[in-house]
Amino acid sequence: MTAAEVLAAYAPAAGLATRLEPFAAGQGASRPLAESLAGRLLMAPMAGVSDAAYRLMARAGGAALAYSEMVSVAGLHYGEKSWELVDPDPAEPDLAVQLFGSRPEQFREAAERVAARLGERLVLLDVNMACPVPKVTRKGEGSALLEDPELAARIVRACREGAPGVDVTVKIRRGRYMGQVVAPEFARAMEAAGAAAVAVHGRFATQMYHGEADWGAVARVVEAVDVPVIASGDVMSHEDALRAMDETGATAVMVARGTYGNPWVFSGHEASAAEKVAAFECHVRLLEATGAHLKRARSLAGWYFKGMPDAARWRNAAMSCETADEFLAVAAEVRAHVC
């Protein structure tokens, strides 16, 4: 089955949509990015998570837009394997592609090639200036760019030069090191370089994902720039998303970990146990349809079955599964005992 056929057959039982609406902004679209973002919830880029199957589940759950996993511009320059992260499934109406690296010339090349490859299905190019992982930052990439606004600005300009018809956005943190807030000033520099929007995660990079995100840091960026600001960090529910927009004045909200086992976070639908099992089954079938590694379903089982009776039992059962049929058999057992 194709991914579209999977959604048509299995999404309704999970309380998910079968028709995925396009975002509206993008190459060739008349609706501007700011208007398309207003009041909407987006699925964040997540390394090792936001593959095509995950994006399709999020869009079926109500996400206005979904991002690719972060893609190395060096990887796109030197090899073909990284393109697997860029290419949308035919069932995806459009896609936001996030790039990371530190060399402006590679960003220019990547922007040109991605724009040519995706055409009107490319909504925007986002530059990752937020990733806190040491293997990224030690190369001067991700959140390390917060310490070099001049280089970061050159990267934004390079992307705009490579793909002149595409909106270029950035994702940042409030700063790299605890107590060293740079987000408002840095965001102004990115706006001056031509960034069409700024996503702000309310933690310092050295916090990783510990502690609490400071939404006040997002609000201060909103005050500092005229372009749309997207709030990020500790958005774990639909109510959190609405509150984040209300408290920060952000144009939109980006949801990351709050999507784990919960594609309904975008709509606010309260899923039943039966719908959660059906969603897991749909997600497994989408992994198979999109050619993804089925072992990803091991994590999905823990997320979808969280909070159910004997959740640890179902999670452990999934850890030994290899095939789609084996994962679906676990789902059938959960349904028999829980629903």
Of the listed 131, 159, 282, 321, which one is catalytic? 131
Residue 215 contacts residue 231 (beta carbons within 8 Å)? yes
Q: Under DSSP, is residue 199 helix (H, G, I), strand (E, B) or coil?
A: strand
Q: Under DSSP, is residue 230 helix (H, G, I), strand (E, B) or coil?
A: strand
Cα distances from 231 to residues 23, 223, 275, in angstroms, run 18, 13, 29
| 170 DSSP 8-state letter | E
What tokens appear for 254 in the block? 């980006």
131 catalytic per annotation: yes
Helix (H) or strand (E) run with residue 114 in it? helix 104-118
DSSP annotation string for 40-96: -EEEPP-TTT--HHHHHHHHHHT-SEEBPPPEEHHHHHH-STTHHHHPPPTT-S-EE
What tokens appear for 127 in the block? 């530059």
- Report the alpha-carbon angle 110-114-115, nearest 5: 115
CA neighbor of 125 nearest in space, from 157, 151, 148: 157
Write down the residue that tokens 């749909």 correspond to: 282
Helix (H) or strand (E) run with residue 128 in it? strand 122-129
Active centre residues (catalytic): 131
